[in-house]
Structure 1
Amino acid sequence: MAAAAQLGSTVTSDRTLARFRPLAVPLVTGLLVVAGWWLESRHAAVAALTSSPGPLLLRPGWAALVVYALAYLVGGYESARTGWHALRRGRIDIDFLMVAAALGAAAIGQALDGAILIFIFALSNALEEYATGRTRKAIEALVRLRPTRARRVTSLDDAAETELITADQLRPGEFVLVLPGEQVPADGVVVRGISAVDTSAITGESIPQQRQPGDQLFAGSVNREGALWLRVERPAQESTLARIIQLVEQAQQRKAPTQLFIERFEQVYSALVVAGTVALIAAGLTVLGWGVSQTIYRAMTVMVVASPCAVVLSTMPVMLSAIASGARNGVLFKGALDLEQLAGVRVVAFDKTGTLTLGLPQLVAIHARPPFTEEQLLAAAAAAESGSEHPIAGAILEEARRRGLSLPSPEHSRTHPGRGVEAVVSGDRILVGSPAWFHEMGQPLDGELADALARLESAGHTAMVLSINGSGPAGILAVADRARPHAREAVQALQRLGLRVVMLTGDNERVAQAMGRELGVDEVYAGLLPEDKMRILQELERRYGPVAMVGDGINDAPALVSAAVGIAMGRAGTDVALETADVVLMSDELVRLEGAVALGRRAERVVRQNLAFAFGVIAVLLVSATTGHLSLTQGVVGHETSTVLVALNGLRLLGFRWPRLQGASAEAEAAAGIDRVAEAGPA
């Protein structure tokens, strides 16, 4: 126990040291600066009291210079090395400017000011490293979620042997046991057991989801209740979690256009600062009549305050923080470019089937003609359709099973392609098919059934007519593709953000318009082939501006690629969704689109704030330094403080509050901040 406690104490101590290690350089530099200032003050006091201060090397003045030199060496070594390497490549960077300014101050007898500059620049770099490190912690947290061990079982028997192995040893086809409280070690399918599983690491869903045989599980999920037996589908190294980690790491390396522009701007601007400093020195010595010390001092002050440190840090912490925030909430951005483009979209186009809807037909209505009852019609239709693989048959069978109806096997069954099914069940001849088929057979619908059929078809439902023993239509069963939960709320939230919402589908016009009315979208385009969707996207972009396309990542791949931003329904991390789209909704929750757009807009606004603040501080400090109203020390403090503030402002996005299911949150509405799109009629 004592050894374990000692080991735990050592680990904690190591982590503490690692956390504060970046501050070691500025801390030592600061102590040296204070020591040098004390020695310099003592030298002044001794010189005032005596004209014979003692041996040269023991005088406080020389001792102060030695201590200052150590401060320059400790605090400025890394910057000098970086600046020198950049200079050898023909580039002038910020590190070179800072070191040159400090050495220039020392050359004119202002060693203290130069040492303070070195100290504050080293402290600024340490704080910037801490700031950007905060965004890396999101990735490190994902990495820590990666399972390390697994319980491999030889069979599904209760008495089967269990072998504890590393997750990397698992191979597809093997079985693993996941006990309550344990992590799922690899992607796979549940083959035995029922439990609630926490999938927040993968999908961002905060509420555990029930999983039973046939359901998929993903590495990194946590089993909360009963034991589960899992058949492994892919190695741990290729799991959904592993691919998410890889994609987020790549996203942090992909730079937005604004960031790329600023990096190019830094090189040109730094060269201009050096040229301007040289020109100021020349003008001060020749035209303005300044003394040598005054000229160099002002030039060094100008060089410091004009350095673009804060400008360079205006974008990177912002984008990294936003990407990390999205990854923690089930929205995967492929890169900063995609985040910036999402902020500028004016239209969101949705695929219908599988995106706005569940993509699975469900029985939504039964109209029975007396003396038949609804359950009699449902049982007869389900028994007749029991051998069919048609999606409509599946919807009827699912509802019959849900109601616990007894379904005898048909004695005879025959499919009429494009029309319906004819079957004999328990001696009764049953026909289930389209209204057109019954019309062909001379059994058209009339009266209440005709009225019901008209209402169902106008609502976009698919109706099937049923007859028993040739007595004419006995009733109607209607199926429809149900809207995805909270789809209407998601559409309304996007509209509140000023976006135009459009639905694209290959379904017929009647079904599409009915679904469009139910969801409240602004425009509906029906009967589209994949190439038609691409054409519509181009037309929408010409009319309104950049378009984001939301699809299921498979049949919508061409449209996802052609849109300004392609957003895929993750289907819990399918390969196509992860590879095709720019943004992936890992939980398939459309309501997260509101947060994604709001996050992109907030990031864009924070970048603008940072740039305005950075350039504003530079302008004020530059005017003050040029006119002699700013000391080098004051310039250093003002310049480096602005740099740290800009970095910390970007980190605020780590705490971005994602909207909940109850419509748009105040956070999202406040993030809108962009002129709303003008209303326009349908094309």
Structure 2
Amino acid sequence: MVEKQLDIPILFPEDPKAAEESAQLLIDTLQKHDGIAEVAVDLATGVLSLKYDPARIAAEVVDGVARDLGLKLSRRVRRQIVDVDSSLYRVVNNSLEETLSKTPGVFRVAINPVAHTVTIRYRDREGLATVVQKLEAEGFPPLEEEKARAPFWIRNQGLIWAALTLLFLLAGVAIERFELAPAAPWLPIFFFVLAYLTGGHQGLKEALKDLRHGHLNIDFLMITAAVGAALIGEWAEGATLLFLFTLAEALEDYAMDRTRSAVEALTKLRPNEATVRRGEDEVRVPVEEVQVGEVVIVRPGEEIPLDGVVLQGETLVNQASITGESAPVHKGPGDDVFAGTMNLDGAIDVRVTKMAKDSTLAKIIEMVAEAQSQRAPTQRLIDRFAHPYALGVLISVGLVILAGTYGFGMPFQDVFYKAMTLLVVASPCALVISTPASVLSGIAAGARNGILFKGGVHLENTAKVNVLAFDKTGTLTYGRPVVTDVIALNGLGENELLRLVAAAEMRSEHPIAQAIVEEARKRQLDVPQPEAFRAIPGKGVRAQIAGRELIVGSHRIVREMGNGHREAPIPEVALSLQREGKTTIFVLDGGDLLGVIAVADLPREDAAETIAALRSLGIKRIAMLTGDYEPVAQHIAQQLGVDEVYAELLPGDKVEIIRRLQDHGAVGMVGDGINDAPALALADVGVAMGAAGTDVAMETADIVLMADDLGKLPFTFRLARRARAIIYQNLAFSVAVIIALVITTFTVGLSLPLAVIGHEGSTIIVVLNGLRLLRAK
């Protein structure tokens, strides 16, 4: 027996009983497979341990069965992403998530404080409805579509509350300083109280919400500091604190709206209506009502409403919104088009292949929303740290008051003021917002360039990759054979030889045959119809053309049929072509060799440049994995500058190669997302290229490159490394500011207003620093 451990991303319910039931279902199903003896699941880590007999079931089969079953189990979980009409990012939301995740019928709830979304994974509709009700009770109602068209005073409540706070603050200060109401000494206090109410009511609500769940948030620390200032008679300073806090919160919300808008713009790409041909009529209908198989008419200047195939007409399409391609793409009959792309200059008829909810654009929007709901590792670490940190700040404040008053004999009012200042400067607001601001901006920048990161964890992991494995066919090469050489012998012209071979191969479906026919078409040769045709299994074809008895095929043809069926040597010109990694096709007329045609799956034009760019970004080892012959693989590797070549592999072999490469560091795997799905799943980061319209590829990989463009890969790694750098910058800056402000508070002394300016200023700076990623191109 062999023991095997698999780390499979299975979504188990939060409820322990439901999780155990799901795990048992997984175990029972796996044990039914012949050769698998024992199965165990660690619910905490998601690691699956199996004992199996390699003589009865192969390792790659075990891996594939387990992963496929895990994916099916996870798909039983439904998901709903709810946009929330409230600012969540100041909330230390682990407590609320834990509470909501315990709702019957609900597996997991994830709050994205920056994107203002709540992702609910549930088993039944009752559980979903209960969570939504609880969110409303907590003050987070679902966002209504009309919100975007709401009046200014609703959309900018934060700024209005800040302005009112400032107005009441200035009134109180003016009355107090210039003694404008000597007969009413209570009037300044009255205006300060109004400033407290307008500036602190929202923070108080947020603080009380978290306190009910046993957690402290930043709002609680700020409200405590403001109330403390009032208790020692420093009403003006407390009101100033609340004004600056409210203003900073409004400005931060505005800045984060820039990031959210970059993603929300995707939802505005698809038109709401489509022109559908029904009988003799052209009818405008909502896109949701258009069925698969119907024909939509798209005129110049209109956006394509649904995914489909062009039936009639030709045009140029700007599909940058889907693939990130900068240049328009020519589309004609038989070509795929995507919802949300722009038809530029021709009218086309499109047969719909996917309903609106299943379109490529809809999947992109869903994947980006899902990516936003997943916290990056750094963010998860900060979230766990935030509550104990806030508690530690409160304890430290209490100790400062006790030590200063009773230990050093300082006046209570001075000590208390210094303690309240400490409460403000030590609050981890910038620290909490630093990572999500950068991650969300990175995901948005990628989506706008046709690169979909399926979560912050993959954005961070991509930055760590130092070993990269490529599937050869279709990734480093074009994935289709093309004619590279036509060598005519016995006095025959090059075009004449190609014309005859194309005639012999025109009825074959083999990719090499199609490549030869395509080359003849490109040269505009007149290709005759064969008078007779017969396939020679495993060797080639026999055809009668223009009085010639042609035999076209591999080197076996020459060995067996050359010179009257006597074994003949392979010509040197053919051997030379084979040494270059090309496939040679021999052409015989009777027993005479008329010529040789070479075909090859050529490297992409930008492949060598891409690999060089990846090396400059810190990728230390680059490997090529292929099922192709060793000489072919080695020749391409030499052209491109690949370090290691693994050839003649079966799909299961690629998995083993990835495991070996992981001994040298974090491994990224780049493929088409279909034939190499197990290798993509095992790699630390799996990248599927050219996945637009390919559902399997979009589900399989951690990162999806929508365009069939290898040149997007360096940008992907550059964006990930830049995002990681900005995250580290933000963390270092946030911690440094807190330390500097705390030291200043205890040495030079710091007023509450200056403390708030330093605290909130650092928060705004880290948000703006994260937003720099939106400009990445």
Is the pair's TM-score, using the shorter chain for normalization, greater than 0.5?
yes
Cα offset for 1:498? Answer: 2.1
Q: 2:152 & 2:710 partners in 1: Cα distance?
A: 41
In structure 2, the CA distance between the partners of 1:18 and 1:573, relative to structure 1 (3 Å rule), is: farther
Q: Distance in 2 between matches of 1:198 and 1:164?
A: 23
Match of 1:508 among 600, 623, 629: 629
User: In 2 relative to 1, CA 17–375 (structure 1 residues): closer, same or farther, beyond 3 Å?
Assistant: farther
* CA shift digits 1:459-494 (9 cap, x unpaired): 1110011012x2411100111112223122211111
Matched, 1:382 2:518: no
Match of 2:201 among 60, 68, 77: 77
Residues 556-608 of structure 1: CA distance to partner in whole angstroms, max 9, x if unpaired? 10011100110001332310111110111111211111111111111111111
Q: Deviations over 1:438-461 (max 9, x none)?
A: 1122448989x7221111101111
Residue 284 of structure 2 is aligned to residue 164 of structure 1: yes
1:221 corresponds in structure 2 to: 341
1:230 aligned partner, one-letter code: V
Matches within 5 A, 1:52-67: 53-54=182-183, 58-59=184-185, 62-67=186-191
| Counterparts of 1:134 and 1:586, CA distance in 2 | 24
- Structure 1 residue 38: deviation in Å? 0.8
Residue in structure 1 matching 2:707, options 587, 600, 613: 587
Cα distance in 1 for partners of 2:359, 2:539 equals 44
1:30 equivalent in structure 2: 166
Q: Equivalences for 1:95-134 in 2 at 5 Å?
A: 95-134=219-258
In 2, Cα distance between the equivalents of 1:646 and 1:22? 20
Q: Could you report, residue by residue, the CA deviation over 1:202-225 in whole angstroms, capped at 9, with x for unpaired residues? A: 111111100000000000111111
Say if 1:414 and 1:423, in contact at 8 Å, map to a contact too.
yes
Distance, in Å, in 1 between the alignment partners of 2:207 and 2:256 is 21
Aligned-residue identity in percent: 47
Task: Verify the 8 A CA contact 1:570 1:578 in the aligned structure 2.
Answer: no
Residue 28 of structure 1, CA deviation:
1.2
| CA drift at 1:628 | 5.6
Whether 1:206 aligns to 2:330 is no
Q: Determine the C-alpha separation between the residues in 2 that align with 1:445 and 1:35.
A: 107
Spell out the pairing of 1:482-631 with structure 2 (5 A cutoff).
482-499=602-619, 500-543=621-664, 545-627=665-747, 629-631=749-751
1:476–1:85 Cα change, 3 Å: same
Match of 1:408 in 2: 528
| Residue type of the alignment partner of 1:34 | L
By how many angstroms is 1:19 displaced? Answer: 5.7
Q: CA deviation at 1:407?
A: 2.2
Question: Of the candidates 473, 484, 497, which is equivalent to residue 353 of structure 1?
Answer: 473
Q: 2:401: which partner in 1?
A: 281
Equivalent-residue separation in structure 2 for 1:203 and 1:485 (angstroms): 19
Distance 2:733 2:372 in 1: 24
Which residue in the other structure is 1:259 paired with?
379
Q: CA deviation at 1:20?
A: 3.9
Work out whether residues 533 and 559 of structure 1, in 8 Å CA contact, stay in contact via their aligned partners in 2. yes
Give me the TM-score of the superposition, normalised by structure 2.
0.79
Indicate if the aligned counterparts of 1:127 and 1:644 stay in contact, CA closer than 8 A.
yes
Contact in 2 for aligned 1:494/1:501 (Cα 8 Å): no
Determine the C-alpha separation between the residues in 1 that align with 2:572 and 2:586: 13
Q: State the alpha-carbon separation in 2 of the partners of residues 491 and 248 from structure 1.
A: 28
1:465 matches 2:586: yes
Higher relative contact order, structure no. (Cα contacts within 8 Å, ≥ 6 residues apart): 1
Q: 5 Å matches for 1:290-305?
A: 290-305=410-425
SS of equivalent to 1:359: coil
Letter in 2 for 1:92: L
Cα separation, partners in 2 of 1:252 and 1:445, compared to 1, 3 Å: farther
Residue type at the aligned position of 1:118: L
Indicate whether 1:41 and 2:174 are aligned: no
Could you list the per-position Cα deviations for residues 265-312 of structure 1 after superposition, in whole angstroms to 9, with x for gaps in the alignment? 111100000011111111112101111211211111111111111111
Which has more radius of gyration? 1
Aligned to 1:430: 550
Write the distance in 2 (CA, Å) between the matches of 1:531 and 1:502: 17
SS at structure 1 position matched to 2:350: strand
The equivalent of 1:668 in structure 2 is: none
Residues 1:139 and 2:263 aligned together: yes
Q: CA contact under 8 A between 1:179 and 1:223: conserved in structure 2?
A: yes
Alignment match, 2:120: none
Q: Which secondary structure state, in structure 2, belongs to the residue aligned with residue 285 of structure 1? A: helix
Change (3 A) 1:644 1:12: closer
- Matching residue's letter, 2:207: G
- Deviation digits for residues 43-65 of structure 1, max 9, x if unmatched? 3x87xxxxxx43xxx23xx1111
Partner of 1:237: 357
Residues 203 and 329, structure 1, Cα contact 8 Å, conserved in 2: yes
Q: Deviations over 1:153-205 (max 9, x none)?
A: 136xxxx4211112111100111110000111110000100110111111111
Whether the aligned pair in 1 keeps the contact of 2:255 and 2:767 (CA below 8 Å) is yes
Q: Distance in 2 between matches of 1:223 and 1:216?
A: 13
Q: Distance in 2 between matches of 1:519 and 1:628?
A: 62
Partner in structure 1 of residue 595 of structure 2: 475
Which structure 2 residue ranges, 5 or more long, are not aligned? Answer: 1-146
Map of 1:677 onto structure 2: none
Match of 2:571, SS state, is helix
RMSD of aligned alpha carbons? 1.9
* 2: CA distance, partners of 1:94 / 1:571: 43
Cα distance change, pair 219–192 in 1 and its aligned pair in 2 (3 A): same
| Other structure's SS at 1:408 match | coil
2:149 and 2:260 map into 1 onto residues whose CA distance is 21
CA distance in 2, matches of 1:403, 1:355: 27
What's the secondary structure of 1:605's corresponding residue?
Answer: helix
Please state whether the residue corresponding to 2:479 is helix, strand or coil: strand
Measured in 1, the distance between the counterparts of 2:417 and 2:693 equals: 60
SS, match of residue 503 in structure 1:
strand
Aligned to 1:89: 213
Q: CA deviation at 1:150?
A: 0.9
Q: Structure 1: which amino acid aligns with 2:753?
A: T
Number of residue equivalences = 629
Say which of 290, 296, 299 aligns to 1:176: 296
Q: Does the 8 Å contact 1:298/1:628 carry over to 2?
A: no
Cα distance between partner residues in 2 of 1:600 and 1:593: 11
Distance (Å, rounded) in 2 between the aligned partners of 1:109 and 1:198: 64
Contact 2:425 2:759 in 1 (8 A): yes
Q: 1:95-140: per-residue Cα shift (whole Å, max 9, x none)? A: 1100001000100011111111111111111112112211110122
AA in 2 matched with 1:531: G
Question: Does the residue aligned with 2:434 lie in a helix, a strand or coil?
Answer: coil
8 Å contact from structure 2 (residues 309, 335) kept in 1: yes
Determine the C-alpha separation between the residues in 1 that align with 2:488 and 2:708: 37
Extract unaligned runs of 5+ from structure 1.
1-10, 47-52, 659-683
Name the counterpart of 1:149: 273
Counting only pairs closer than 5 Å after superposition, residues 352-371 of structure 1 correspond to structure 2 as 352-371=472-491
SS at 1:572 equivalent: coil
Does the 8 A contact of 1:94 with 1:308 survive in 2? yes
Could you list the per-position Cα deviations for residues 416-455 of structure 1 after superposition, in whole angstroms to 9, with x for gaps in the alignment?
A: 11111111123210010111221122448989x7221111
- Counterparts of 2:155 and 2:769, CA distance in 1: 21
By how many angstroms is 1:41 displaced?
0.7
Give the letter aligned to residue 279 of structure 1: L
Q: SS state of the match for residue 248, structure 2?
A: helix
